[in-house]
Amino acid sequence: MPATPRRKVLLLEADVAAGGDLLAAAAALGADAYVATRADLYARYRPELTGRIAGTAFTDFADPEAALADLTAFGRRTGIDGIVPCWEFLTPLAAHLAAALGLPGHLPGTAPAGRNKRLMAKAFAAHGVPAPRTVSAPDPDTLARRADAAGLGYPLVVKPAEEAASIGVSVVTAPGELPAAARRARTGPRKLPHGIPLDTAVLAQEYVAGPEFSVETVLTDGAVHHLAVTEKFTTGGARRAELGHTVPAALPPDTRAAVYGAATAAVTALGLRNGLAHTELKLDPAGRPVVLEVGARPPGDHIMRLVREALGIDMARAHLQAVLGDRPDVTPRRDAAAAIRFLTAPEAGTLRWVGLLPRGPHIVETALTKLPGDAVGGPDDNLSRIGHIMVRAASPAEASAAADAALASVAVELATRW
Ligand SMILES: Nc1ncnc2c1ncn2[C@@H]1O[C@H](COP(=O)(O)OP(=O)(O)OP(=O)(O)O)[C@@H](O)[C@H]1O
Ligand SMILES: [Mg+2]
Separation between Cα atoms, residue 109 and residue 128, nearest integer Å: 19
Q: Which atom of ligand 1 is nearest to the CA of 167?
A: 21
CB 102 within 8 A of CB 82: no
For 206-220, 233-247, 258-272, 326-340, which range has the lowest pLDDT when averaged over its residues?
233-247
In whole numbers, what is the pLDDT of the chain averaged over residues? 94
The predicted structure's pLDDT at residue 396: 98
- Model confidence over 74-119: pLDDT tens digits? 999 999 999 999 999 999 999 999 999 999 999 999 999 999 999 9
Domain 133-206: top CATH class: alpha beta
Q: Which atom of ligand 1 is nearest to the CA of 382?
A: 26
Q: Amino acid letter at 110? A: T
If you measure from the C-alpha of residue 6 to the centroid of ligand 2, how many angstroms do you get, rounded to a whole number? 36
Give the pLDDT confidence score for residue 5 in this predicted structure: 82
The residues spanned by each domain of the chain are 7-103, 106-130+208-335, 133-206, 336-418
**C-alpha 55 – ligand 1 centre gap (Å):** 36
Residue of the CA atom closest to atom 15 of ligand 1: 166
132, 205 Cβ separation under 8 angstroms: yes
Separation of CA 133 and ligand 1 centre (Å): 14
Whole-number CA gyration radius for the chain: 21
- Of the listed ranges 50-64, 305-319, 381-395, the least confidently predicted one is 381-395
State the pLDDT at residue 2: 64
pLDDT in tens, 205-238: 999 999 999 999 999 999 999 999 999 998 888 8
Give the number of the atom of ligand 1 that is nearest the alpha carbon of residue 117.
Answer: 18
The ligand minimizing its distance to the Cα of 383 is 1
pLDDT at 242: 84
Which is the closest atom of ligand 1 to the Cα of 301? 26
Quick one: CATH architecture of 7-103? Answer: 3-Layer(aba) Sandwich (3.40)
pLDDT at position 415: 83
At residue 382 the predicted structure's pLDDT band, cuts being 50, 70 and 90, is low
Nearest CA to ligand 1 atom 22: 164
**DSSP alpha helix (H) spans, 159-202:** 178-185
Instruction: Kindly report, residue by residue over 146-189, the tens digit of the pLDDT.
Output: 999 999 999 999 999 998 888 899 999 999 999 999 999 998 89
Atom number, ligand 1, closest to the C-alpha of residue 163: 21
Residues with CB under 6 A from ligand 1: 132, 157, 159, 163-167, 169, 205-208, 212, 234, 240, 280, 292-293, 382
- Do the first three CATH levels of 7-103 and 336-418 match, i.e. the same topology? no
**pLDDT at position 380 over 80:** no
Cβ(313)–Cβ(247) below 8 Å? no
Query: Which residue's CA is the closest to the ligand 1 atom numbered 14?
Result: 166
Cβ burial of 18 (10 Å; 0-12, 13-18, 19+) is: buried
Classify domain 106-130+208-335 at the CATH topology level. D-amino Acid Aminotransferase; Chain A, domain 1 (3.30.470)
357 pLDDT tier (thresholds 50, 70, 90)? confident
Average pLDDT over every residue of 386-397: 96
- Minimum-distance ligand to the CA of 159? 1
Percent of the chain residues past pLDDT 70, beyond the cut? 98
Angle between the 253-269 and 117-126 helix axes, to the nearest 10 degrees?
Answer: 110
362-373 per-position pLDDT tens digit: 999 999 989 888
Task: Quote the pLDDT of residue 164.
Answer: 86
Task: Looking at the CA of residue 164, tell me the nearest atom of ligand 1.
Answer: 21
Coil, strand or helix at 206? strand
User: What is the assigned CATH class of domain 336-418?
Assistant: alpha beta
Q: How confident is the model at residue 344 (pLDDT cuts 50, 70, 90)?
A: confident
- The CA distance from 358 to 135, in Å, is 46
> When comparing pLDDT for 1 and 378, which is higher?
378
Query: Cβ neighbours of residue 26 under 8 Å, at least 6 residues apart?
Result: 9, 11, 32, 33, 52, 84, 320
pLDDT band at 73 (very low <50, low <70, confident <90, very high): very high
The pLDDT assigned to 88 comes to 92
Distance 99 CA to ligand 2 centre (A): 27
Q: Which of 279, 293, 381 to mutate to test the pocket of ligand 1 (most atoms within 8 A of CB)?
A: 293
Residue nearest to atom 28 of ligand 1 (CA): 240
Ligand nearest to the CA of 234: 1
Judge contact between 91 and 106, C-beta under 8 A: yes
Q: What is the pLDDT of residue 383?
A: 65
